[in-house]
Amino acid sequence: MSLLKPFSKTPEINGANILLVENEEQFQQCLAETIVLQNMNVNVNVRLARSLPLPMENEKSRPRIDLVVFIINLTSEASFKSAETSLKYLDPGYFLGKVCFVVTKARSAVPPERLIAVRKLAASLHCPLLYAEDQTTEGVTTTAHRLLAILRVTAGLIPMATSLYLSTLTCYTLPSDTDQLNFD
Amino acid sequence: MRNCVLVFSETQKKILTKTNSFKMDPMDSLENLASGLETVAVNRFQTPTVGSGPNESPAIEILRIKEQMSNQCFEMAVKLQTGESSRFCNTSDAEKDLADYTNALEEAKITHFNQSLALHRMQVWHAISEKLKQRDPEAEAMRGLTIRCLDLCSQIKTNQQKSFELQDEITVLQKQRLDLKRLTHEKMKEMEELKKREHPESEKYRNVLQKGQSNLEKYQRIVTITQNVLRGIIIASKVNWRNEPKLRDIAMTLDDILISDE
């Protein structure tokens, strides 16, 4: 099994690499373009994939990945399943802050079980969960900004913060059921 | 730590050169200085992470890359450390420990930040005092500013003194007013008590009055009846009372409209 390991390669100088994994390959394209257009003083490298494991041919040329983003489309069950299976090919070292979940199309009428399942997954893995608006450019730009903020920490650009420290602050916590009841 | 001092002196130079433009009001330059120091303090006296894009000076770029690499090395060292000491424990224990460790980490960060703030404050004051001893136009400007600050402070002191005195006077007046209020309250209470106390004495007076009034009524009734009787007699006897002077006087008194207590 070819696991993607966080520390198996040496890091690049002045670089940050982000990997977008999406089953449908729709959102990742425009998100990648927006990320690259942002004004950063490091070289941001965006790699796109459909699912893990990544093909062996690129193993040598692939740089060290700082942040792995799973884009889950709520309207399709296959998206969620593919993300779940891809998680197995990720070394556990990544889950200490170097994995992020992005959910799209949360506004459309979806069965709530899928969203709850995604939330439980994010909570159990202690990863941040972002909701993205993929129809408007502002939504895409906002998501790009947020991902870049997390990427800055995981790539080591923020001096006193590491990805593990950030994960303790940003990890998704499930709201307990009693909170829903007390809303009235 | 050398890098921190290097950055600081670089920014210090930038901040200090701003006081050269004396066209502005000295307060404006003070404000610029304060905001500059504030941004430097907020960035924790380290290189800005967002960066100014392509027009970054190479020194800052090298510093940034150096910090990035040290951060990455730190992460890898942490990973190695966890790899060495691998013990088996369940997740609930680990999560309890996690909460404690994050608290300890936060506290360490806070103390570190406060201490570095204090250190930089000392550095700034030292730099300012060194500057003031020199003889260039910047120092002149700073001396002028400090003199102005001292004047303003003494003005503040006198104004505060005046306000304290006025406050004391106000307090004295308020005390006096309270005393007067208290006295009026007491007087009002005494008056009410006196009004009530009249009661036993006025009881006798009322009784006497009552008796007198009943007597008066009795006698008035007697008089009315007598008058009516006399009237009847005179009318029934068909005597001409107008000719006799004595009878006329009596009859005139009879015709008075009596005020009866009915």
Contact B75 A163 (CB under 8 A): yes
Per-residue model confidence (pLDDT) at position B108: 92
Kind of pairing between the strands at A99-104 and A67-73:
parallel
Q: State the Cα–Cα distance between residues A3 and A68, nearest whole angstrom.
A: 13
Interface predicted TM-score (ipTM) of this complex, two decimals: 0.81
Q: Is B103 on the interface with A (CB under 8 A)?
A: no
- pLDDT given for residue B31 in this prediction: 77
B56 CB neighbours in chain A (<8 A) are 41
Rg of chain B on CA atoms, in Å: 53
- Element holding A22 (H helix, E strand): strand A15-22
CA distance B30 to chain A (A): 30
Is the CB of A157 less than 8 angstroms away from the CB of B68? yes
Q: Supply B137's token pair.
A: 């136009």
**pTM of the entire structure?**
0.58
CB within 8 Å: B68 and A162 = no
Query: Is the CB of residue A64 less than 8 Å away from at least one CB of chain B?
Result: no
Tell me the CA end-to-end span of chain A in Å, nearest whole number.
Answer: 50
- B47 contacts: CB under 8 Å, gap ≥ 6: A159, B7, B60, B63, B64, B67
Length in residues, chain A: 184
CATH topology of domain A15-170: Rossmann fold (3.40.50)
Provide the pLDDT confidence category of residue B11 given band limits of 50, 70 and 90.
very low
Are the beta carbons of A159 and B75 separated by less than 8 Å? Answer: no
Q: Does A124 touch chain B (CB under 8 A)?
A: no
Pairing of strands A67-73, A15-22: parallel
| pLDDT interval class at B20 (50, 70, 90) | very low
Per-residue pLDDT reduced to its tens digit, B81-129 = 877 766 667 777 777 888 888 889 889 989 999 999 999 999 999 988 8
Contacts of B61 in chain A (CB under 8 A): 14, 41
Q: What is the DSSP string of B167-205?
A: HHHHHHHHHHHHHHHHHHHHHHHHHHHHHHHTHHHHHHH
Among all residues of chain A, which has the CA nearest to that of B65?
Answer: A14
Identify the pLDDT of residue B194. 85
Q: With bands split at pLDDT 50, 70 and 90, how would you rate the model's confidence at B190? A: very high
Give pLDDT tens digits for A157-177.
888 788 888 888 888 887 776
Q: Which of residues 3-22 of A touch B (CB under 8 A)?
A: 6-7, 11, 13-14
CB contact under 8 A, A162 and B78: yes
Distance between CA atoms of residues B210 and B240, nearest Å: 43
Going from N- to C-terminal start, the domains of chain A cover 15-170
Contacts of A155 in chain B (CB under 8 A): 68, 72
